Amino acid sequence: MELRTLRAFAEVARRGSFTLAAEHLFVTQPTVSKLVRQLEDELGQQLFVREGKRPRLTDAGSVALAHAERMLADASQLRAELDGLSGLARGELRIGVPSLGGRVFVALISEFKRHYPGVELKLFEDGAIAIEAALLAGELELGGLLRPVDDPRYQTLTLVRDRLALIAPARSAWAHRPRIALAELADEPFILFTPGFALNDRIVSACADAGFAPQVTGRSGQLGLIQAMVRGGIGVALLPTSEIAASARDGLAVCELEADIPWEIALAWSRDGYLSHAARAWLALAQARYPDA
């Protein structure tokens, strides 16, 4: 049983798609299908029901997934410990970088590479939900999560504190309103994030507190595309203020919300897991840069 087949199987289960799994693994979709079929043949069990648009785990698939995740985590732990023996002259560091908030990682990446050029940084870019799943599976040593992080399995360091603001088309009714109540947006079409973003739940919950459910007209995990969709009049969106770059505000109205919807990104790592020398060096740099967090 090869780790490659286990990784392909676990990625399809996590993402609910052979195509998305292939994109994440940087292989073709037929390759992923072949690897999963190879694992099914080896185990003598069907692992997925391939009906409809999304593959579903069979009972055997659910059992296999639990074992596969443990085996992948063990393999990852083995690599981390062996890399740690060689110090920081070589090795790799696997970090989950959230699609929103990625800019806060840039300065850390630059500083880390100046100090430790021999360590390869492998960046996993996705929403906080997907990053947390990868942390739990042992595929990442460090990852950016959306606060609050209540899981006792993690230790955390806050990197950025911010709040959400409204962006709307520059010619909309909100263009001359510097501050609005969230309830005023009840009839507006919303552009939300793709399912891997924990911020979706934060926005939906805030809207519910304001007395309405947002009318979702589109979703994206790309900040630039969301802003372009808003400029095009497709809908409005709620984004962290610090992520709305001044250079990208043309064609947009930016309004402060009376409702305080916090957005905080924390660097998280396993409380009881092994941290490589590279991960510990990254944490030392982060703690020095954000001493008050």
User: Three-state DSSP class for 272?
Assistant: coil
> Per the structure block, which two tokens stand in for 20?
């998305």
pLDDT at position 82, please?
A: 75
Q: What is the DSSP string of 26-79?
A: TS-HHHHHHHHHHHHHHHTS--EE--SSS-EE-HHHHHHHHHHHHHHHHHHHHH
> Per the structure block, which two tokens stand in for 286?
């982060």
Q: What top-level class would CATH report for the domain 1-78? A: mainly alpha
Average pLDDT, the chain: 89
User: Domain extents for the chain?
Assistant: 1-78, 162-263
pLDDT at position 80, please?
A: 77
- Dump pLDDT digits (tens) for 4-39: 999 999 999 999 999 999 988 888 999 999 999 999
- Dump pLDDT digits (tens) for 62-118: 999 999 999 998 888 888 777 765 667 778 899 999 888 888 888 899 999 999 998
Phi, psi (degrees; rounded to nearest 5) at 96: -90, 120
Q: Domain 162-263: give its CATH code.
A: 3.40.190.290
Would the pLDDT of 152 be above 60? yes
